Structure 1
């Protein structure tokens, strides 16, 4: 699928698929690489999502018709793009207790023990499909349906940065203190967003995340090294044949 349509009075939307899948994500990332390479005058920004990519443009610089033709021409180059090899970023996570107040609820909802929830949640690599809704927040794919749990009926007014949550069949990590309705099962001491760091955002779409359970004591030790700037998360090349099962 490659469907182009208007997106407001200064936007163009390209639909790459109907369902969330690694293949659709790969096509979206390939097209984003092409946009970055071409640097067409008049394009202000582009916004990738699970199944589409929207381009915001300046209509005083380039017309919709011109942009549409540019996009259609660019489509022909997509198969020649070699995306960079993906990495797996290991995220140390302290599950349960005051850092994961909803772990028991997730376990109860799915007829599991808390230990089983942690084992399932930390047992696979999660593809980072896109970044949103706050700087550094990763939208992850690949969570097992065995631990899927509905959002909270009443959202919390404050969720601590680093909180790891579940919402339906999704899992993610809060990058900043915000309100939220996800079921919080743990917390990482890592800073997903730090405006004083270069680059400020820790994770990147196209890479993978692997949650690594740590104790309360280990959490405190890592937090101290994060604060003094000496901690670097473990990163390794992604190997599909070694990926865990998320079924």
Structure 2
């Protein structure tokens, strides 16, 4: 863990993994809730950092962080957000080939995974969800699409995500959902927030015919 003051009231904490980010973010929120964290305006997790803004003394908190014991993140009593998915994405057969399984097995593995929102970004309402086993990580597409439909469920590197609006994107699309990820008229505009447990629930939809798949696949390091 490395903490660096940013400006007069910000602190950027650099970590080495998604899991460390999730754990520190959860601990910061816990301490803020019980009143043992100095007053802070905002706590923002990312892939390898947590940014705190609105601190009176960022340097003091940065030095204190080195003494903390941060437990691993747990779902606790938070219910999982269930997102219904029609697993009929244009890249489903391709992902099946990369995983060395059939499309039906992709559906079983993906919907059977307990996901967690590591952080949000890219577009309002877009959550980067972790939980897939390392051997199921896939690289982004070499040529991104110029338009990915709203509600598309995609994979890239260690992450699963749902496009909250139509936009360009290079994730491999395995399905689609009608769930509204971002609604500014809703009391909480974003359906997903960092730390939220998520499960994908399959809806009935015809699956593409299975294609011959290799028995093993060693994924390359995804770009981000």
Question: Does the alignment reach a TM-score above 0.5?
Answer: yes
User: CA contact under 8 A between 1:30 and 1:83: conserved in structure 2?
Assistant: no
Q: Which residue of 1 aligns with 2:16?
A: 18
Q: Which residue of 2 aligns with 1:195?
A: 184
Where in structure 1 are there 5+ consecutive unaligned residues? 218-247
Of 194, 201, 206, which aligns to 2:195?
A: 206
Higher relative contact order (CA 8 A, sep 6+): 2
Question: Normalization by structure 2: what TM-score?
Answer: 0.76
Matched, 1:31 2:28: yes
Q: Distance in 2 between matches of 1:102 and 1:78?
A: 42
Where in structure 2 are there 5+ consecutive unaligned residues? 207-224
Q: Which residue of 2 aligns with 1:94?
A: 86
User: CA contact under 8 A between 1:148 and 1:169: conserved in structure 2?
Assistant: yes
User: CA contact under 8 A between 1:89 and 1:209: conserved in structure 2?
Assistant: yes
Question: Normalization by structure 1: what TM-score?
Answer: 0.70
Query: Cα 1:113–1:77, aligned 2, differ >3 Å: closer, same or farther?
Result: closer
User: CA contact under 8 A between 2:9 and 2:58: conserved in structure 1?
Assistant: no
User: CA contact under 8 A between 2:80 and 2:197: conserved in structure 1?
Assistant: yes
Cα RMSD, aligned residues only = 3.0
Matched, 1:174 2:163: yes
Q: Distance in 2 between matches of 1:52 and 1:168?
A: 18
Bigger helix fraction: 1
Query: Cα 1:89–1:83, aligned 2, differ >3 Å: closer, same or farther?
Result: closer
After superposition, residues 91-240 of structure 1 pair within 5 angstroms as 91-96=83-88, 100-216=89-205
